[in-house]
């Protein structure tokens, strides 16, 4: 069996990436559900799956980058688009690439939402710990004109609340 042509190799890379991206998307959705229901075992399983899929996607991205640069294309979205214009005469690869970018965009959105949920929960825990340790001295987080957060302290006994 001969060596893969550029289109064959790209089709294999994109197909594998689509499979892993779809599994990543599912893991992020399971992570979201686990966060909502506070299911620690479910969250652990989703995070482990997410990490494995990201590792696989990184390896495929590295392979794609090496292929593009070896063929004289830039290792970015524009380079990939140019490569597809040059090599995808049968319009097989471009739909795969478009679907992959759509799924990865959705994965970024899901990950940002999940990260926001985790950060909000972390802040609540930090505030509860702070109240318990300080005897009720609470912090109020505000935003300055540049959008950065800062804390103000107000002393309020937990028994006064």
Q: Is residue 159 part of a domain?
A: no
**Is residue 148 one of the residues assigned to a domain?**
no
Q: Which residue has the tokens 């499979």?
A: 19
Q: How many folded domains does the chain comprise?
A: 1
Residues 86 and 89: their CA atoms lie apart, in Å, by: 8
Query: What percent of the chain has a predicted confidence (pLDDT) above 70?
Result: 81
User: For the chain, what's the residue count?
Assistant: 161
Domain-embedded: residue 113: yes
pLDDT score for 102:
97
For residues 10 and 85, the answer to whether their CB atoms sit within 8 Å is: no
In a domain, 106, yes or no: yes
With H, G, I as helix, E, B as strand and everything else as coil, classify residue 94. Answer: helix
Spacing of C-alpha 108 from chain mean position: 4
Say which DSSP state 136 is in.
S
Cα gap 141→161, rounded to integer Å: 19
Report d(CA 16, CA 61) in Å as an integer: 11
pLDDT tens for 129-149 read 777 777 655 555 666 677 666
pLDDT tens, 81-136? 999 999 998 899 999 999 999 999 999 999 999 888 777 767 777 777 777 777 65
| The 3-state secondary structure of 39-66, one letter per residue | CHHHHHHHHHHHHHHHHHHHHHHHHHHH
Residue 17 lies in a domain: yes
pLDDT of residue 28 exceeding 90: yes
User: What CATH number should be reported for the domain holding residue 29?
Assistant: 1.20.58.300
Domain that holds residue 89: 6-133
Residue 124 CB-density burial (10 A; 0-12 exposed, 13-18 middle, 19+ buried)? exposed
**Residue whose tokens read 């399983």:** 45
Q: What is the pLDDT of residue 126?
A: 72
158 domain residue, yes or no: no
Residue 160 belongs to some domain of the structure: no
Whether 140 is covered by a domain: the verdict is no
């Amino acid at each position: 069996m001969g060596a893969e042509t550029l289109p064959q190799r790209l089709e294999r890379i994109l197909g594998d990436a689509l499979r892993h991206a779809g599994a990543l998307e599912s893991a992020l959705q399971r992570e979201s559900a686990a966060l909502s229901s506070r299911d620690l075992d479910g969250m652990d399983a989703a995070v482990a799956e997410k990490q494995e899929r990201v590792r696989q996607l990184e390896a495929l991205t590295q392979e794609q980058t090496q292929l593009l640069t070896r063929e004289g294309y830039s290792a970015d979205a524009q380079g990939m688009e140019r490569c597809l214009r040059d090599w995808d005469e049968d319009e097989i690869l471009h739909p795969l690439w478009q679907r992959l970018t759509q799924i990865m965009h959705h994965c970024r959105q899901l990950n940002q939402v999940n990260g926001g949920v985790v950060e909000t929960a972390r802040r609540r825990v930090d505030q509860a710990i702070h109240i318990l340790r300080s005897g009720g001295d609470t912090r109020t987080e505000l935003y300055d004109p540049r959008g950065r957060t800062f804390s103000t302290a107000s002393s309020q006994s937990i028994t006064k609340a």
